[in-house]
Every structure is written in structure tokens, then in C-alpha cells.
Amino acid sequence: MATAYFLRRSGLSYILLDAEPAPGGAWRHGWPSLRLFSPAQWSSLPGWPMPPCREIYPSREEVIAYLAAYERRYEFPVERPRRVTAVTKADDGLLVRTDHKTWRTRAVISATGTWNAPFLPAYPGQAGFEGLQLHSAHYAGPQPFTGKRVLVVGGGNSGAQVLAEVSEVADATWVTPRDPIFLADDVDGRVLFERATARWEAKEGVGPEAPPPGGLGDIVMVEPVKAARTRGVLHAVRPFVRFTAKGVVWPDGSEEAVDAVIWCTGFGPALEHLRPLGVLTAESKAAVNGTRSVVEPRLWLVGYGEWTGFASATLVGVMRGARQTAREVEAALAAQQLSARST
């Protein structure tokens, strides 16, 4: 939608294909208590600020409502549900195949994010574990874990938030590769974005000396995490070494029975639909110059993380890449038209 905001100014004919049945994107699949860790005014798409929210940090429902209102406000041409299954080459452009029909186009902007590509680390004995394994992408709340022995694996904000609420109903252990980094109570996503921006500017030589570390992955002390700290459960242990049928084995050789493992281990880019173009690397990413594919110049990629633009996977950070992408697409298509006329 950030890219569409800039495309609508260009006069180009474009369409948004959304796999979801309604607005909201990946937020439609977040667990009920999920919150942003930036205030509303620092969580906005270009052109229209997110309205003030009931609390400091917008809830899942408030984010979905904002995204739906943003779509209505700018009357984007959206077709849904339309899941793109493959993008392939054609003589005069690209073919975008979906589960309903196929579109022929002169340019494709892939903005599918990461939610549909959850990452699960591999552990010895994992396939033989008889308990439940669940990624945070499919976590719907703590109730199913009531009274059970649960491991929450992952040292980021999702791990902290899931641990905070699961520990209220279950015997939960937080497993992280290293000690989690907790930010001061008055530091939120706004401050993190400002710090990260300053470090990026220093690296690019357009700003002063970089500020001290404090990244977008550090843990923001939202209210549920603060409550977990008060209850004394906000501490982590280092990873187990392997699974057994009934649990895990820790580094000291001790075995422990476990009912469930919740993987809060992040996501990769959801780019399988681009595989037919031959643009994916061994890391399942795509080589880009800015956001434009190096291999296929009719393809742009927006919002997948630092490799497609600074802070591009955040609501506030995607604007720079979205604006540049719209400009590049407009220029590329104008050049195509000029070339066609001259021949």
C-alpha cells in the first residue's frame, strides 16, 4: 500500500493482488494481544498518520483498522483474495499467475513480506518429538498451553511477548541463544528507529558519528513484558542440544519433559512465487540494486528487510523504498514506451 500510494500519483495503470480475504495483511494472523512497539505517530504509512490509539502502543485490531481505512481512503484497486503462485517471463512482459487467473504486465512489484515464510531452526531428534511444535506465525494465544510445560524459543520482541503471556498459564521456560537485551522502560520503537537511522546515516557518510548500539531487534518493555518482569519470569536460558520423544536434552546432559515448543525464531522472505524467474539466491533472497532486481529488470522488491532498504520491513521505514520504487517503475515504463515508438 505504501508503494501504491506513490503509484497513484503517476497515472500508471496498476493493481494490487492480495491473498487475504480482507485488509490487514499479516496483522490478520497475529495473536490477539500482539502490539506494535512504537507509538501510533511513529507507525504510519505515507500520506496519512495512524490515528491516536487507546494506549501508547497500537493493538493488533487498531493496526488492522488503520490499514483498512488507509486502503479505503486512497481507493486502491485491490483484488482479493488472489494468491500469486508464480511470476514467469513472457515475450512482452511478465505473467503473474494466481489461483484464479493470470495477468500480463510490464512490471511487477513484489511486496509479500515474510509472514508466510516462518523460520524454524533444525535440532537433532526434532522429527521424533511427540509434543506440539508451533511457530509464532500460528500462535493464537496462551489458552491451549494451560497447565503444560512449554519452551518459548527466541530472543526478540515476539519471544518476550509470547513468554510474558504463556507464563501466566503454563510452566514456561524462555530459551534464547544469548542473554536478551532489554531496553529502558522509556525507550520504544520510535527511539530505536531514530538510533538506527543515525547509524545508517553515519555509515553512509551523511550524518555525524553513530550513536551507541540499540537495534530494532532489542526488546521493548511493553506493558505485558513489564508485568512478566514484575512476576520474576523474564529470564532466559541457553538452548537445548537435541530433542527426545518426550522433551529435550540440555547442554549439561540432563533431560526434561516438555509438552510444547513455541518457535519465536523469525521469518524469511516469502518469495517462492519468484522462483520461476531465476532470481532467487541460495539464501532465498534476490540480488537487488536498491529495490530493483539485478537479474530481472522488470521486477522490484519492497519491504523485505535491510537488503531491500533501510528499515523497509517497518510501517514507518518502508516509505523511502516505496517512493523510490514508484519513481523507478514510472521511469522504466516511460523509457519502454519511448523505445517502442522509436522502433
Measured distance CA(151)–CA(157) in Å, rounded? 16
pLDDT greater at residue 320 or residue 218: 320
Q: How is residue 61 written as a grid cell?
A: 485490531
The domain tally of the chain equals 2
171: domain range?
126-182+219-263
Residue 52: pLDDT band with limits 50, 70, 90: confident
Asked whether residue 151 falls in the same domain as residue 272, the answer is no
Residue 147 sits in a domain whose CATH number is 3.50.50.60
Residue 316: pLDDT band with limits 50, 70, 90: confident
Lowest mean pLDDT among 42-46, 48-52, 104-108: 42-46
Residue 132 resides in a domain: yes
- Choosing from 263, 283, 316, the residue where a domain stops is 263
Phi-psi region of 263 (alpha: psi -120 to 50; beta: other; left: phi over 0): beta
**Is the four-CA dihedral 68, 314, 107, 274 of positive or negative sign?**
negative
Measured distance CA(316)–CA(45) in Å, rounded? 6
Q: Give tens-digit pLDDT for 1-14.
A: 999 999 998 889 99
Measured distance CA(96)–CA(272) in Å, rounded? 13
Instruction: Judge residue 342's burial from the number of C-beta atoms within 10 Å of its C-beta, 0-12 exposed, 13-18 middle, 19 or more buried.
Output: exposed
Q: What is the mean pLDDT of residues 28-45?
A: 85
Asked whether residue 59 falls in the same domain as residue 109, the answer is yes
Global pTM reads: 0.85
pLDDT greater at residue 185 or residue 225: 225
